Amino acid sequence: MIAVAALLAVLAGRVHADPLDAVVRDRITRALPPGLDVAKVYLPPALAGLDVDPGKVAVELPHELRAGRPSVKLVLRGRTSYVPVAIAVAGDVGIAQRAVRAPAT
How would residue 104 be classed by pLDDT, with cut points 50, 70 and 90?
Answer: confident
| Mean pLDDT to the nearest integer, 82-92 | 92
CB 32 within 8 A of CB 59: no
Q: How far apart are CA 70 and CA 49, in angstroms?
A: 22
Arithmetic mean of pLDDT, 84-100: 90
Q: What is the pTM of this model?
A: 0.68
**DSSP notation for 58-104:** EEE--SS--SB--EEEEEETTEEEEEEEEEEE-------SS--PPPP
